[in-house]
Chain A
Amino acid sequence: MLWLFAVLASCSVHRAGEQAVDVARQYRVTVSAQFGAVKTEESVLQPAMETRLALRVTSTPTRRFRDGSLGAQLRVVDAELTVDGEPVPVELVGRTAELRTFANGEILDIGWIDRLSGPGRHLDAFEVIFPALSPAPPSVKVGVEENRRIIWPFRSGRTVRWDNAVEAVWKNLGVDKAQTSPAWELTYRGPWTLDGGTRFVSPGVGYTAKGHGEGTVWMDVKTGSMTLHVFEWHRTVQVEGKVALTQTQEFEGRIEVIP
């Protein structure tokens, strides 16, 4: 009898997670990125390049998970990518990912991120966009500093996973009344690390990075939601399979809510 209850109880979660929990938003995302040369110890495989990615992204609530975390579907509505000033095709328009966060914005998972990544899509290299959309600042008094990590995972099926963390120190600069509506202005800065690798594939590939992230987030005083985020993050990534490759990546970006 007990096992029958256990089976039925676990089946009930099939319909548990489909509750809309917030309002839809639209963001303008612009990121200028300088990618250094792709190098091995012996040779240069790709020269350095300057890129600019401009996106319009909608965020629509999808469901509340059993643990209280929230799902929001991110859809790329417009996408433009330039490399060294020349527009290049990018396969992002219409694609979606599901951002799973705690109520404070802390990212637990990014479902379908693999469908926005890889050649021609590039959000694996530009993954900084996801924490920039959901930076999760702490509640902190004006003038006070507080530590809170900015974390997010990158998963592609069961074969690829890496985890990012910025050990951010946050500071509340007070209410900025120069914004369209009054907003708390919070700054953050801290070291950025990434660690991960492939599973069940040969040869295995390891992913590591070290760098730094800093930025300023404006949170609407009335709604508590982010209205603007400007950031400068940089890192040096290493991808090690049979041979180790490195690339420096410098991101300068701006995320703003479109009314």
Chain B
Amino acid sequence: MMLVLLLGAVPLDPVGDPLPNYLNESQAHQAVDAMVPLLKSCGTESDMTVRLELDFSGDGRIDLHRLDGVSGPVAECWTAAIASIAGPVHHDTPQRVSTSIYVRGGDVLASPTLTVGTRDLAPLLIFSTPQTRGLIYSVIQGTEAAEQ
């Protein structure tokens, strides 16, 4: 039993893991965490919950797509703070990242929950065009195209 527990503690060999070419949640978290001190300097007088949608470009640029829950000069300060952060370089089209920032009791906190909106496309082996793709997938899956 002890031996099984000890073997369980041995990390898996990660040497074959893919290189981090594409944006992942950990990288996005790091970038959002880097924003927090700058956002704090924008003011923390009132508690608020701010919904953020950010576009992470492959060259490391982060563009603000949506900022809900803050307005006026504070919003301008947040926009500038977000634009000043360099994100991770990756090899994909701009990736939409959604998260929340909380201002509570004079402090700024990034939500532990974050979503990377990767467009995950199922390989098919069959060459298909945009016009017929939905039909082909629906026939394979046995569903109506609208259910895809």
What 0/1 readout, one digit per residue, does chain A (221-259) give for beta carbons within 8 Å of chain B?
A: 000000000000000010111110101010000000000
Q: How far, in whole Å, are A25 and B14 apart by their CA atoms in the complex?
A: 27
Among A88-96, A145-153, A182-190, the one that faces the other chain is A88-96
Q: Flag the segment in B17-25, B29-37, B66-74, B98-106 that touches A.
A: B17-25
Residue among B22, B122, B127, B140 facing the most chain A CB atoms (10 A cut-off): B127
Contact of B133 with A by CB under 8 A: yes
Tell whether A118 pairs with B123 under 8 Å between CB atoms, given A96-B91, A111-B18, A243-B140. Answer: yes
> Of the candidates A96, A98, A111, A117, which one forms a contact with B123 in the assembled complex, judged by CB atoms under 8 Å apart?
A117
The B interface, classified by DSSP as helix, strand, loop or mixed, is loop
Residues of A within 8 A of B (CB): 3, 6-7, 10-11, 13-14, 16-17, 33, 35, 38, 40, 45-46, 49, 51, 62-63, 65-66, 71, 73, 75, 83, 88, 91, 94-96, 98, 100, 109, 111-112, 114-115, 117-122, 124-126, 154, 156, 160, 162, 194, 203, 205, 207, 209, 237, 239-243, 245, 247, 249
Q: B138 → chain A, closest Cβ, in Å?
A: 9
Give me 6 other A-B pairs in contact (C-beta within 8 A), A95-B92, A115-B22 excluded.
A115-B21, A120-B130, A121-B121, A124-B123, A154-B123, A242-B140
Contact B129 A10 (CB under 8 A): no
* Whole-angstrom CA separation of A115 from B95 in the bound complex: 13
Q: Does B112 contact A (CB under 8 A)?
A: no
**Is there a chain A Cβ closer than 8 Å to B132's Cβ?**
yes
Say yes or no: A65-B132 contact (C-beta < 8 A), given A94-B91, A239-B125, A243-B140. Answer: no
Count CB-based A-B contacts (< 8 Å).
135
Q: Are B21 and A156 in contact (CB under 8 A)?
A: no
> In the complex, which residues of chain B have a beta carbon less than 8 angstroms from the beta carbon of A124?
123-125
A-B contact pairs, 19 of them (CB 8 A): A6-B6, A6-B10, A10-B10, A14-B14, A16-B15, A33-B127, A38-B126, A63-B19, A83-B129, A100-B16, A114-B123, A118-B122, A119-B121, A120-B121, A124-B123, A125-B126, A194-B125, A239-B124, A239-B126
Would you give the shortest CB distance from B121 to chain A, in whole angstroms? 3
Interface presence of B1 (CB below 8 A):
no
Give which listed residue, B6, B130, B136, contacts A38 with CB less than 8 A: B136
